Amino acid sequence: MISNRVRKFGALYRRRGAPDAMREALTWTLARLRLVEDVEGRRRALALELARAFQWRVSYGPFRGMILPERSWWSTQDRAPMLLGLYEQDVLEILVRELARRRHFIDIGAGDGYFAVGLLATGHALRCLCFEASMEGRAVIAECARANGVTERIHIDGAANSRTLLDIEDGILADSVVLIDIEGEEFELLDDIALERLREAVVVVELHDHRHDFDTSHRRDLHDRAARHFEISEIPHRGRNPAQFPELDHLPENDRWLACSEGRSAKMTWLLFEPRTVTGHPPPSSDAGHGPSMPFADEVPIRG
Which range among 94-108, 143-157, 200-214 shows the weakest confidence by mean pLDDT? 200-214
**In the predicted structure, residue 159 carries a pLDDT above the cut 80:** yes
CATH homologous superfamily for 38-290? Vaccinia Virus protein VP39 (3.40.50.150)
Q: Where in the chain is the domain with CATH 3.40.50.150?
A: 38-290
pLDDT at 239: 86
* Mutual angle of helices 135-147 and 114-121, in 10-degree steps: 20
3-state secondary structure string across 242-296: HHHCHHHCCCCHHHHHHHHCCCCCCCCEEEEEEECCCCCCCCCCCCHHHCCCCCC
> Across residues 168-188, what is the average pLDDT?
91
pTM: 0.81
**In the predicted structure, residue 46 carries a pLDDT above the cut 60:** yes
- Calpha distance 201→104 (Å, rounded): 10
Tens of pLDDT along 271-296?
999 999 654 444 433 343 333 344 54
pLDDT at 287: 40
